[in-house]
Amino acid sequence: MPKKKSISYAKWGYIFIAPFFLVYIIFTLYPQILTVYNSFFEYYRDGLTIVGPNFVGLKNYQTLFQANNAGYVPIIKFLGNTLWLWIIGAVPQFTVAMLLALFFTSTRLNIKGQQFFKTVIYMPNLIMASAFSMLFFALFSQVGPINQLLVANGWASQPINFLGMRVTVQTLIGIMNFLMWFGNTTILLMAGIQSIDEALFESARLDGSTSTQVFFHITMPLLMPIFIYVFITSMIGGIQMFDVPQVLTNGYGIPDNTSTTLIMYLNNFLGISKNYGMAGAVSVLLFVITAVLSSIVFKTINKK
Amino acid sequence: MKKLLSVLLAVLMVLGMAACSGSGSSAAPAPASSDTPAEPTAAEGKVLNVWTWNTEFWDFLGKYYADEVVDEYTLKKGDVTIKRTTYPSDGGAYQDALDAALLNQANAKDDEKVDLFLAEADYILKYTNSDATMDVKSIGVTDFSNTYAYTVSAASDANGVVKGVSFQCCPAAVIYRRSIAKDILGTDDPAAVQEAMKDWDAFDKLAADAKAKGYYMIPTTNATYRVYSNNATSPWVVDGKLNIDANIERWMDQSEEYVKNGYTAYTSNIWGDEATSEMFASGKSLCFFGPAWYFNFSMTNAQDPEKGCPGDWAICQGPQAWFWGGTWMLAATGTDNPTMVADIMNTFINNEEVCDALVAKEAQFSNNQKVNNKYATDPNFGSEFLGGQNPNEVFAELAKNIKFENVTQYDQLCNEGLQTYFTEFLDGQVATRDDAINNFKDYIRTTYPSVTVE
């Protein structure tokens, strides 16, 4: 008696996911490997002459960690800038987003017109970051409307050079990132809170717990997976910060390179001389930093 | 049935993606003109691609060369369509895009090849010294008898092969506000004003007088930068090493002094809203610096009919002779329209009618000595913007001494970078001048791997 063949549907699963992997390999994995490969080569343009690719081993990485004439290593300073610029935007972003998410999901408050508010707070995220940055650039220029307002009302004796001072430039970048992303975070956190069983909140309330107790003992622990996800994606986004400071400072990271982020540094290598070797080295470093920071965050927050 | 359906779905998905990527790649290059006949009617191409970073030359091309202006980016001359590709100059974006196009020139379709591109003095060497440009004599541009010698040597490679021509000559001057000069000096006569700022010492003294009357000598410290950098005695890069000329140091000294004494309105970029706002009638700055193209093309705020002050300006040589910029047309190797490229070049240097119009109607200082000199001695010729003054009289004299020296292909970003980082020092954002120079050096290190920075 011939053995009856069982019908396997497994191959359909593979066929369905194949397109994603194909696209991933061609457009993500291959360029990534190429980036790592390029980072070991001297490969740039001098005018219209292409120099390289010549294998130079780890020389690009050495160059990256060389101290400059002022005695510090530029990339370390830029890493510091990047993290700082992310933090000053992320702290208000998460605080406000968490509060809004709690208000919107609270069955006690039962806020009316939620749909409207959700749309409004999400709105800034729809504007292109560079356009948003350009808008701030125009608003805060020395002859821009903000300065005109300040001077006309006597709040400032002369126009303030918002785009030339460290504190104001960094603050503006923080504000822009906050405005652009708090809506997105709110929506994600709301989804997370809504997925928690309502019965838990109800029973806690019946037992007489305060809102603070509910938040710390029910909401937060159960929200953790989503919160970690949002936090890590925000951090990765922060490490990759580029368009807002680039446009606001015209690519120079003014003043004193205090708003130059890692990606802006990378972009400078890819400017006129298309220095794929050095840019590759920065990218690889960036990858390592992102991986390390993400795992640290994951480990610390996820600790039971 | 189910199986059939799932196969169909999978195929559709893949097809959909293929279609997306397909349309994506075909949409990227500019579509070739749709009315190209099936068989080639002439040996030369039907599309002439011109690369620019602004519309100055393009407007002249539309007015004085093309038969028809189709739209902002398209002109027609005979049956050839002239197309414009423009990128901003700032931060090297134009050079960047142009380099990519030129390096791809051999693979590009005929109608997409760069045929004619513009370049500035700051980086013209990069193109003239490469194979991306070709000998214009070989395509029929041979008569340079009326052009200014420096415009020819600037467009020549190391062996003296001429790769392009300029449609303008750019001796530069001080462009001052007549009403402010009158208030300070009691006269707005160019000869008297020139006497009052005949060298930098006199200029500084006048700056103090201006301040005493409540004016600024200059709109921004960066306004005088080009005068100093143009008079530098050594190039930005010497033997592959970054070199900061003594004259650049002198500019830094002056800028520091002017900020300290309040002689300058701003410290900003000369193209920015701050400095250009000083061109309005409400501005309090006496001196702007630039050649003919600066006051007719870049001083639009001063020409503004409501807020501007056309007619309240005049020019004089200023503290030091210099020239600034100039736009050269270069012939791209591989062009499929060599005849038209040569024709355009010849038109803008040798067609007296066109050069005449450039001077008389566009306030240009053309690259045709005969035409310029005719107007220089014409007592009836004057610029309305300059309150009737004859700019050619001043420029013709200044043009005699221009030498194209100490130029490198790295100049644009060295100039932009130094001004940007030094301005941070002027704004008090870095503690010392050395800090500013260090930031500039870091910038050059990142920007130009081939330049050694010590």
Q: DSSP letters along B5-32, please?
A: HHHHHHHHHHHHHHHHHHHHHHHSSPPP
- pLDDT value at position A108? 75
pLDDT band (50, 70, 90) for residue B31: very low
Asked if B48 and B35 count as a contact pair (C-beta separation under 8 A), the reply is no
B31 vs B310: which has the higher pLDDT: B310
Chain B CB contacts of A138 under 8 Å are 273
Q: What separation in angstroms does the CA of A240 have from each of A85, A88, B119?
A: 11, 15, 34
Torsion region of B144: left, alpha or beta (phi above 0 gives left; psi -120 to 50 gives alpha):
alpha
Query: Average pLDDT in the B307-330 region?
Result: 89
Asked if B295 and B175 count as a contact pair (C-beta separation under 8 A), the reply is yes
Query: Average pLDDT in the B134-139 region?
Result: 87
Query: Average pLDDT in the B155-167 region?
Result: 87
Q: What's chain A's average pLDDT?
A: 88
A165 touches chain B (CB under 8 A): yes
- Lowest-pLDDT range, A257-266, B26-35, B332-341, B401-410? B26-35
Does the pLDDT at position B30 exceed 60? no
Hey, are the CB atoms on A19 and B266 less than 8 Å from each other?
A: no
B52 vs A302: which has the higher pLDDT: B52
The residue of chain A with its CA nearest to that of B420 is: A252
Does the pLDDT at position B22 exceed 50? no
State CA B33 to chain mean position distance.
30
Which tokens is B67 given?
Answer: 């038969």
Query: Average pLDDT in the B182-195 region?
Result: 90
B22 vs A140: which has the higher pLDDT: A140
Complex ipTM value:
0.82
- pLDDT value at position B7? 53
Query: Average pLDDT in the A213-234 region?
Result: 88
Does the pLDDT at position B392 exceed 90? no
Hey, are the CB atoms on A141 and B272 less than 8 Å from each other?
A: yes
- pLDDT value at position A2? 60
- pLDDT value at position B18? 41
User: For the stretch A191-222, what's the b/e string if a residue is b when 16 or more beta carbons lie within 10 angstroms of its beta carbon?
Assistant: ebbeebeeeebeebeeeebeeeebeeebbeeb
- pLDDT value at position B41? 40
| pLDDT tens-digit series, residues B323-339 | 888 889 988 888 888 88
Hey, are the CB atoms on B450 and A275 less than 8 Å from each other?
A: no
How far apart (Å, rounded) are the C-alpha atoms in residues B193 and B16? Answer: 72
Q: At what angle do helices A74-105 and A166-194 cross, to 10 degrees?
A: 40
How far apart (Å, rounded) are the C-alpha atoms in residues A111 and A119? Answer: 14
Phi, psi (5° rounding) for residue B49?
-95, 125
Which tokens is B116 given?
Answer: 């004619």
SS3 A41: strand
Type of residue numbered B45: G
The residues spanned by each domain of chain B are 47-169+326-376, 173-323+405-447
Among B13, B307, B424, which would you mutate to test the A interface (most chain A Cβ atoms within 10 Å of its Cβ)? B424
Hey, are the CB atoms on B103 and A48 less than 8 Å from each other?
A: yes
Query: Average pLDDT in the A138-150 region?
Result: 88
Q: What's chain B's average pLDDT?
A: 84
Q: Which residues 130-159 on chain B approach chain A with CB closer than 8 angstroms?
A: 130, 132
Asked if A137 and A248 count as a contact pair (C-beta separation under 8 A), the reply is yes
pLDDT band (50, 70, 90) for residue A3: low
- The answer to whether the Cα torsion of B355, B357, B361, B362 is positive or negative is negative
- pLDDT value at position B359? 86
Measured at the CA of B368, the angle between CA B199 and CA B409, to 5 degrees, comes to: 65
The CATH homologous superfamily for domain B47-169+326-376 is Periplasmic binding protein-like II (3.40.190.10)
Hey, are the CB atoms on B441 and A269 less than 8 Å from each other?
A: no
pLDDT band (50, 70, 90) for residue A116: confident
B173-323+405-447: CATH topology is: D-Maltodextrin-Binding Protein; domain 2 (3.40.190)
Chain B CB contacts of A255 under 8 Å are 424, 427, 429-430
User: For chain A, what is the largest distance between any 2 Cα atoms, rounded to a whole number of angstroms?
Assistant: 100
Hey, are the CB atoms on A47 and B130 less than 8 Å from each other?
A: yes
- pLDDT value at position B258? 93
Query: Average pLDDT in the A202-217 region?
Result: 87
Hey, are the CB atoms on A250 and B442 less than 8 Å from each other?
A: no
How far apart (Å, rounded) are the C-alpha atoms in residues B275 and A245? Answer: 23
Distance from CA of A33 to the nearest CA of B (A): 22
B10 touches chain A (CB under 8 A): yes
Which tokens is A36 given?
Answer: 């790592």
How far apart (Å, rounded) are the C-alpha atoms in residues B327 and B325? Answer: 7
- pLDDT value at position A303? 65
- Lowest-pLDDT range, B39-43, B238-242, B255-259, B414-418? B39-43
B89 touches chain A (CB under 8 A): no
Residue pairs between chains A and B whose CB atoms are closer than 8 Å: 109
User: For chain B, what is the largest distance between any 2 Cα atoms, rounded to a whole number of angstroms?
Assistant: 98
Contacts of B323 (CB under 8 A, 6+ apart): B150, B170, B171, B172, B230, B291, B398, B402
Q: Which residues 425-444 on chain B approach chain A with CB closer than 8 angstroms?
A: 427, 429-430, 434-435, 437-439, 441-443
Going by the DSSP 8-state scheme, the letter that residue B114 receives in this structure is: -
- pLDDT value at position A299? 84
Does the pLDDT at position B224 exceed 80? yes
